[in-house]
Structure 1
Amino acid sequence: MSRWHRPLMVSTGLMSALAVVTAVALVLDDRTLDGMPVWAKPLKFAMSVAVYSFTWAWLLSLQRRERRWGRIAGTVLAVAGVAEVAVITFQAARAHRSHFNAATPFDAVLFGVMGMMIIGLMVANVVAAVAVLLDRQADGPSTWAVRFGLAISTLGLASGGLMLGPRPGQSVDGGVIGAHTVAAADGGPGLPLLGWSTVAGDLRVPHFVGMHALQLLPLLPLALAALSRRFPALAPVRVRQGLTVTAGVVYAGVFGLVLWQAERGQSLVHPDGLTLAAAGILAVLALGGVAWSFRARAPRQVALAVPAPAEAAR
Structure 2
Amino acid sequence: MSVLTVPSLPRPHTPLHRPLMYFAAANAALVVVGLIGMLVDDRVIAGSTAWFKPTKFAISFVFYSVALAWLMSLRPTLSRLTSAMATVVVVAGVIEQVIIFGQVIRGTRSHYNVTTTLDATLWVIMGSTIVILFLATLVIGIGLMRARLGDASITWSIRLGIAITLVGLALGNLMPQRESGVEGIAGAHTVGAPDGTPGMPLTGWSTTNGDLRIPHFFGMHALQALPLLAALLVVLAPRIPLLRSVRVRLGLIITASAGYAAVLALVTWQALRGQPLIHPDQATLTAAAAIVTGVVVGVLISVASAAGTRKVVTA
Common fold by TM > 0.5: yes
Q: Percent identity?
A: 46
Task: Tell me by how many angstroms 1:168 deviates.
Answer: 7.2
The answer to whether the 8 Å contact 1:70/1:131 transfers is: yes
Superposition map of 1:255-274 within 5 A: 255-274=264-283
4+ runs deviating over 4 angstroms: none
What does the per-residue CA deviation read over 1:17-53, in whole Å, with 9 as the maximum and x for residues that have no partner? 1111111111111111122110011100000011101
Mark the CA change 1:166 to 1:220 in structure 2 (over 3 Å): closer, same or farther. Answer: closer
Q: Give 1:230's match in structure 2, choosing from 228, 239, 242.
A: 239
Q: What's the TM-score once normalised by structure 1's chain length? A: 0.92
How many angstroms apart in 1 are the aligned matches of 2:156 and 2:275? 32
Unaligned 5+ segments in structure 2 are 1-12
Mark the CA change 1:92 to 1:193 in structure 2 (over 3 Å): closer, same or farther. Answer: farther
What does the per-residue CA deviation read over 1:165-214, in whole Å, with 9 as the maximum and x for residues that have no partner? 351756xxx21101111111111111123211111111000000000000
The amino acid of 1:175's aligned partner reads: G
1:167 aligns to 2:176 (yes or no): no
Q: Secondary structure at the match of 2:259?
A: helix
How many angstroms apart in 2 are the aligned matches of 1:279 and 1:85? 35
Q: Give 1:82's match in structure 2, choosing from 76, 80, 94.
A: 94
Superposition map of 1:176-191 within 5 A: 176-191=185-200
Task: Tell me by how many angstroms 1:163 deviates.
Answer: 0.6
Q: Which has the higher contact order (CA 8 A, sep 6+)?
A: 2
How many angstroms apart in 1 are the aligned matches of 2:296 and 2:208? 31
How many angstroms apart in 2 are the aligned matches of 1:289 and 1:107? 49
| Equivalent position of 1:61 in the other structure | 73
Unaligned 5+ segments in structure 1 are 303-314
What does the per-residue CA deviation read over 1:229-260, in whole Å, with 9 as the maximum and x for residues that have no partner? 11112221111111111111100001110001
Q: Give 2:43's match in structure 1, choosing from 4, 10, 31.
A: 31
The amino acid of 1:27's aligned partner reads: L
How many angstroms apart in 1 are the aligned matches of 2:216 and 2:158? 19
| Equivalent position of 1:12 in the other structure | 24
The amino acid of 2:81's aligned partner reads: W
Q: Is the deviation greater in 161-170 or in 120-129?
A: 161-170
The amino acid of 1:188's aligned partner reads: T
Q: Is the deviation greater in 26-35 or in 199-208?
A: 26-35
| Equivalent position of 2:256 in the other structure | 247
How many angstroms apart in 2 are the aligned matches of 1:86 and 1:260? 32
The answer to whether the 8 Å contact 1:11/1:53 transfers is: yes
Task: Tell me by how many angstroms 1:290 deviates.
Answer: 0.7
How many angstroms apart in 1 are the aligned matches of 2:58 and 2:257? 26
How many angstroms apart in 1 are the aligned matches of 2:246 and 2:181? 55
Task: Tell me by how many angstroms 1:78 deviates.
Answer: 1.2
Q: Give 2:288's match in structure 1, choosing from 254, 279, 304.
A: 279
The amino acid of 1:176's aligned partner reads: I
The answer to whether the 8 Å contact 2:180/2:187 transfers is: no
Superposition map of 1:146-157 within 5 A: 146-157=158-169
The answer to whether the 8 Å contact 2:169/2:216 transfers is: yes
How many angstroms apart in 2 are the aligned matches of 1:191 and 1:301? 49
Q: What's the TM-score once normalised by structure 2's chain length? A: 0.92
Q: Secondary structure at the match of 1:258?
A: helix
The answer to whether the 8 Å contact 1:36/1:195 transfers is: yes
Task: Tell me by how many angstroms 1:2 deviates.
Answer: 2.4
Mark the CA change 1:188 to 1:131 in structure 2 (over 3 Å): closer, same or farther. Answer: same
The answer to whether the 8 Å contact 1:246/1:290 transfers is: yes
RMSD of aligned C-alpha atoms?
Answer: 1.4
1:142 aligns to 2:151 (yes or no): no
Task: Tell me by how many angstroms 1:300 deviates.
Answer: 3.4
The answer to whether the 8 Å contact 1:36/1:193 transfers is: no
Mark the CA change 1:37 to 1:137 in structure 2 (over 3 Å): closer, same or farther. Answer: same
| Equivalent position of 1:125 in the other structure | 137
